[in-house]
C-alpha cells in the first residue's frame, strides 16, 4: 500500500546573535516568537491564529508559506535565516517519502542543483540512528529517486535539511536570508528625528535592528514648506514601521514660525546650529514623555557643514538625552546602499524641502564656538519656544 504523507507546512526561524546571550537566551527567544506572531498578523492582515513554538534554539511557526509570509518574516529583526518546511510523522518511511516529494518540488521550481547534501539535526532523539546515519540513508533515497544528483559533503550547492523531533519531523529545501540583528523590544526605546531625507530613515532602521523600538518626530517648517513634506515624512515613517511589530506614531512639531523668529534675531551663520540645538531640546522633552531613552539622528561626520565634530558637540550639549548617530561613519554611497536594501530609497529621493535649509546661510559656521552660540541664544526666548513646541506637538493623522 502506498504511504500518504501529510502536507502540513511550517516555517523555521534561525537566529545567531541572540543564541549567544547566555542566561537571557530564553527571554530573547520569547521576544522573537512574540514579534513573529505580531508581524505575521499585521502583514497578513487577519486574525488567523498563528501558533509559534520555541525549542532547542529554533522558533517554529505553524503556518503556510506564501509571498506574504515571506515578506513579513524578512522584516523581522533577530532572524538570521528562515525556511519553509514540511512536517511529517517521525519514522523512516514518512521521512524518506516526504523528502523525495520535497526534492521533486524543489527541482520543478528551481531546476536541478549541481550537488547536494542532507543535514540532519536530531534535537530530540526519537530515532535511534545518529544524525550522520540519517543523512546517508535519506541521501541514498534521494539519489535513488534522482540518480543525476551528486552528493558533495564539503561544499554542496544545495542543502536538504531535516529536524528530527519526537512526534513530527521537519524537512526544508530552501533558506531565505533574514534581517539579522536583535528582536525589537530587547533594548530601550528611542526617538528618531525624521527629516524626510535619505539618512534619517536608515538611522531609525539601524536602531530597530539593535532591538530598540523607535518613535518618530518631525520638525515641520510650515507655512514655509507645504504639506507634501509631511506626507513624505509620514510615508518614510510607515516604511520604517514595517520593521517593528508594534508600529509607533509620527509626532509633528510646528517649527516654521519658530525658525522665522530665530532668523529675525540671530546671526545667519549660526542659525543651523541654533535650530539644531532647539530641536534637541524639544525632542528631549517629547522623548521623556514617551519614555524614550535616547535620540537618533541621521548625521554622518563631515557630510554637511553642521556635521563637523565641533558643531556636533555643541549640538549635543543642548540635548538632555544621549544622541545616537548610527550613520556617523557612513559615507553617502554606503547610506544609499542601505536605503535601497531597506526599501526607503525611492521615497527619500522624491522632491521635498527640508525645514533645516529654510533661512539657512549659504556659508554656515563649521566650527561653532560655544560662547558665540550662548550669546546668540541669550537673544532668544528658548524656554517659551520649547514649551510652545512641546504643547503643540501632535500625532500625525493621515488625511487620506
Q: CA dihedral in degrees (154, 117, 29, 76; nearest 10)?
A: 100
Rounded CA gap, 138 and 26, in Å? 33
In this chain, which residue has its C-beta nearest to ligand ATP? 197
Minimum CB separation of residue 359 from ligand ATP in Å reads 12
Identify which range of 125-133, 136-144, 335-343, 352-360 contacts Mg ion by CB under 5 A: 352-360
Select from 74, 136, 303, 316 the one that contacts ligand ATP (CB under 6 A): 303
Residue 232 near ligand ATP by CB under 6 A: no
Rank residues 156 and 364 by Cβ distance to ligand ATP and give the closer one: 364
User: Residue 319 belongs to what H/E stretch?
Assistant: none
Residue 278 near ligand ATP by CB under 6 A: no
With CB under 5 to 8 Å by kind, the binding choice for 219 among Mg ion, ligand ATP, none is ligand ATP
Site for Mg ion in 166-195 (CB under 5 A): 195
Cis check: omega of the bond before 223, within 30 degrees of 0: yes
Q: How many CB atoms lie within 10 A of CB 347?
A: 18
Residue 306 near ligand ATP by CB under 6 A: yes
Q: How many CB atoms lie within 10 A of CB 105?
A: 13
Rank residues 193 and 262 by Cβ distance to Mg ion and give the closer one: 193
Rank residues 5 and 279 by Cβ distance to ligand ATP and give the closer one: 279
Q: What angle do CA 390, 388, 281 make, to 5 degrees?
A: 55
Residue 83 near ligand ATP by CB under 6 A: no
With CB under 5 to 8 Å by kind, the binding choice for 352 among ligand ATP, Mg ion, none is none
Residue 260 near ligand ATP by CB under 6 A: no
With CB under 5 to 8 Å by kind, the binding choice for 304 among Mg ion, ligand ATP, none is ligand ATP
Residue 298 near ligand ATP by CB under 6 A: yes
Closest among 60, 56, 61, 50 to 26, alpha carbons compared: 56
C-alpha cell at 65: 508559506
Rounded CA gap, 280 and 269, in Å? 19
Residue 356 near ligand ATP by CB under 6 A: yes
Closest among 286, 263, 240 to 388, alpha carbons compared: 286
Q: How many CB atoms lie within 10 A of CB 268?
A: 14
Residue with the three cell numbers 534521494: 142
Rounded CA gap, 359 and 230, in Å? 19
Residue 355 near ligand ATP by CB under 6 A: yes
Task: Report how many residues bind Mg ion under the rule CB under 5 A.
Answer: 3
Dihedral sign, CA of 386, 392, 394, 396? Answer: negative
Task: Report how many residues bind ligand ATP under the rule CB under 6 A.
Answer: 18
Identify which range of 19-27, 43-51, 99-107, 298-306 contacts ligand ATP by CB under 6 A: 298-306
Rounded CA gap, 262 and 232, in Å? 26
Select from 98, 178, 183, 197 the one that contacts Mg ion (CB under 5 A): 197
Site for ligand ATP in 173-202 (CB under 6 A): 193-195, 197-200
Residue 354 near Mg ion by CB under 5 A: yes
Select from 37, 218, 242, 248 the one that contacts ligand ATP (CB under 6 A): 218
Residue 361 near ligand ATP by CB under 6 A: no
Rounded CA gap, 161 and 106, in Å? 13
Rounded CA gap, 15 and 21, in Å? 11
With CB under 5 to 8 Å by kind, the binding choice for 385 among Mg ion, ligand ATP, none is none
CB 31 within 8 A of CB 185: yes
Helices of type H across 111-175 = 131-145
C-alpha cell at 35: 514579534
Rank residues 178 and 197 by Cβ distance to Mg ion and give the closer one: 197
Residue 201 near Mg ion by CB under 5 A: no
C-alpha 284: how far from chain center: 24
Minimum CB separation of residue 6 from ligand ATP in Å reads 51
DSSP summary character for residue 151: B
Residues in touch with ligand ATP (CB under 6 A): 193-195, 197-200, 218-219, 297-299, 303-304, 306, 354-356
Residues of the shown chain interacting with Mg ion in the complex, contacts defined by CB under 5 A: 195, 197, 354
Amino acid at each position: 500500500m502506498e504511504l500518504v504523507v501529510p502536507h502540513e507546512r511550517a516555517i523555521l526561524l534561525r537566529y545567531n546573535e541572540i543564541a549567544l546571550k547566555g542566561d537571557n537566551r530564553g527571554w530573547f527567544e520569547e521576544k522573537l516568537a512574540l514579534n513573529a506572531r505580531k508581524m505575521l498578523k499585521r502583514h497578513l492582515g487577519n486574525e488567523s491564529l498563528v501558533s509559534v513554538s520555541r525549542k532547542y534554539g529554533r522558533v517554529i511557526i505553524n503556518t503556510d508559506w506564501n509571498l506574504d509570509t515571506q515578506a513579513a518574516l524578512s522584516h523581522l529583526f533577530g532572524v538570521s535565516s528562515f525556511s519553509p518546511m514540511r512536517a511529517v510523522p517521525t519514522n523512516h518511511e514518512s521521512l524518506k517519502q516526504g523528502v523525495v516529494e520535497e526534492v521533486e518540488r524543489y527541482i520543478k521550481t528551481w531546476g536541478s542543483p549541481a550537488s547536494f547534501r542532507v543535514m540532519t539535526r536530531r534535537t530530540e532523539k526519537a530515532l535511534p540512528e545518529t544524525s550522520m546515519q540519517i543523512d546517508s540513508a535519506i541521501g541514498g533515497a534521494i539519489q535513488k529517486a534522482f540518480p543525476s544528483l551528486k552528493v558533495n559533503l564539503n561544499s554542496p550547492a544545495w542543502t536538504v535539511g531535516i529536524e528530527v523531533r519526537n512526534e513530527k519531523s521537519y524537512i526544508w529545501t530552501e533558506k531565505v536570508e533574514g534581517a539579522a540583528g536583535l528582536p525589537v523590544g530587547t533594548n530601550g526605546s528611542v526617538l528618531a528625528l525624521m527629516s524626510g531625507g535619505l539618512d534619517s530613515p536608515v538611522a531609525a532602521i539601524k536602531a530597530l535592528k539593535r532591538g530598540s523600538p523607535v518613535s518618530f518626530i518631525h520638525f515641520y517648517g510650515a507655512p514655509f514648506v507645504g504639506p507634501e513634506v509631511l506626507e513624505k515624512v509620514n510615508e518614510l515613517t510607515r516604511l520604517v514601521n514595517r520593521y517593528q511589530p508594534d508600529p509607533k506614531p509620527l509626532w509633528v512639531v510646528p517649527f516654521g514660525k519658530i525658525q522665522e523668529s530665530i532668523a529675525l534675531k540671530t546671526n545667519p551663520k549660526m542659525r543651523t546650529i541654533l535650530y539644531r540645538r532647539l530641536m534637541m531640546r524639544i525632542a528631549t522633552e517629547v522623548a521623556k514623555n514617551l519614555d524614550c531613552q535616547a535620540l537618533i539622528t541621521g548625521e554622518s561626520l563631515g557630510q554637511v557643514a553642521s556635521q563637523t565634530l565641533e558643531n556636533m558637540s555643541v549640538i549635543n550639549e543642548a540635548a538632555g538625552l544621549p544622541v545616537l548617530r548610527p550613520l556617523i561613519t557612513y559615507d553617502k554611497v554606503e547610506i544609499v546602499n542601505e536605503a535601497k536594501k531597506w526599501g526607503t530609497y525611492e521615497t527619500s529621493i522624491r522632491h521635498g524641502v527640508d525645514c533645516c535649509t529654510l533661512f539657512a546661510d549659504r556659508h554656515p559656521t563649521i566650527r561653532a564656538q560655544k560662547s558665540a552660540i550662548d550669546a546668540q541664544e541669550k537673544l532668544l526666548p528658548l524656554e517659551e519656544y520649547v514649551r510652545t513646541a512641546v504643547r503643540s506637538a501632535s500625532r500625525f493623522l493621515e488625511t487620506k
